Amino acid sequence: MEAKKSSFNRMWDWVDTRYRANELIQALLHVEIPRSAKTFYFGGITLFFFIVQAATGILLSIYYQPSPDSAFNSILFIMNNVRFGWLIRSIHAWSANLMVLFCVLHLLRIFFQAAYKKPREMTWVFGVVLLGVTLVFGFTGYLLPWDQRAYWATVVGSEIAGALPIVGGQLLTFLRGGADITAATLTRFFGIHVLILPVTLALVLVIHITMVHQQGLADPKREKVDDQSRKKRLLPFFPNYVLDEMIAWYLMLAGLIVLASVFPGGLEEPADPLRTPEHTKPEWYFLFLYQALKVVPRIIGVTLPIIGGILLLLLPFIDRSPYVELRKRPVALAVGVICVAGIVGFTIWGWLS
């Protein structure tokens, strides 16, 4: 006599019969990856911080009011009156910064391991787009508390965008919704931050992850792009890699809670357009550009990062070398080290100045 199935099993059979869910799950989980692949879990950690951003952002949006008269007070209410509101806001702020950091680290890992080469050219392109969307995410969210630091950092950041040749003036007006940062700017940033960017990032992320799944992880030990002579030692994605990824997520969650508890998100005085505070600076991931604009002509300081971004986007199509090993890519190594050192150096310089 056949044992009676549970309600869950009956429901699952109903779904599986109609949508072949078992086949889909098997295809997602039963993938083998090279044991030599060294991802350092940067990509998965970036995904984790995006999930944290989405969850905490939804909770914050319940109480947040996007107007100059109410924004600052709504943040105060969240921090002082909502149960664990200060913790949720602090986790949201820290995860935003860490998401940018690990997204950059993930991109650097791909670059130095030459994992952007054939057949992963478009995977790299969508990864660079994800970095761009993440930076815009941070920029639009920074204004929302509507305190002095947020207001004037946005002034500086938007002026950097306004320094672009030809389209700078139009871009500045578009970002601010006018000549100055006003209620229109706050409403615009809020709408972009909670509607346009999450949908855009989620869509690009699904495409990026699908490409990674279909192509697998690159083997950094191979000598050339088309080298099939090396016998790969494979590691099952599930449960081996998944368990390691989950451990990394738990460690990040623990670190996030510690950071949010020990260094909670602060709040300065309400934004005052008539009083400029001393040492106004943009967020840390724009500091290198802010500092560079102090020492080089503005058109050069703005144009070079744009050219750099375009070259970064087109990197797989520019770098035609068949070699993967870093020691056989001296030009790529030199350019990468110089760029990283320059950005880090200008960031520290901007932070200290």
Q: Which long-range contacts (CB under 8 A, 24 or more apart) does 260-263 make?
A: 260/87, 260/90, 260/91, 260/93, 260/94, 261/87, 261/90, 263/90, 263/94
Determine the residue type at 118. Answer: K
pLDDT in tens, 143-184: 999 999 999 989 988 888 887 777 888 988 988 988 889 999
Residue 346 in domain: no
Residue 258 in domain: yes
* pLDDT score at 341: 96
Record the tokens describing residue 217, joined without a space.
């992880």
* Segments of the chain with pLDDT less than 50: 1
Residue 353 in domain: no
The parent domain of residue 84 ranges over: 38-223+235-276
CATH number at residue 134: 1.20.810.10
Residue 305 in domain: no
* pLDDT score at 230: 59
Supply the Cα-derived Rg of the chain in whole angstroms: 23
Residues written for the chain: 353
CB atoms within 10 A of CB 147: 21
* pLDDT score at 1: 42
pLDDT in tens, 304-340: 888 999 999 999 999 988 999 888 899 999 999 999 9
Residue 161 in domain: yes
Residue 257 in domain: yes
DSSP string computed for 172-226: HHHHHTSSS--HHHHHHHHHIIIIIHHHHHHHHHHHHHHHHHHH----TT-SBTT
Nearest to 36 by CA among 305, 276, 232: 232
Number of domains in the chain: 1
- Nearest 5°: the CA angle 264, 248, 256 is 5
Residue 301 in domain: no
CB atoms within 10 A of CB 18: 8
Q: Where do the H-state alpha helices sit in the chain?
A: 7-19, 21-29, 42-63, 71-80, 85-112, 121-142, 148-162, 168-176, 183-191, 197-215, 242-262, 287-295, 298-313, 315-318, 330-352
3 CB-contact burial (10 Å; exposed 0-12 / middle 13-18 / buried 19+): exposed
Residue 107 in domain: yes
* pLDDT score at 220: 83
* CA 100/CA 54 separation, integer angstroms: 15
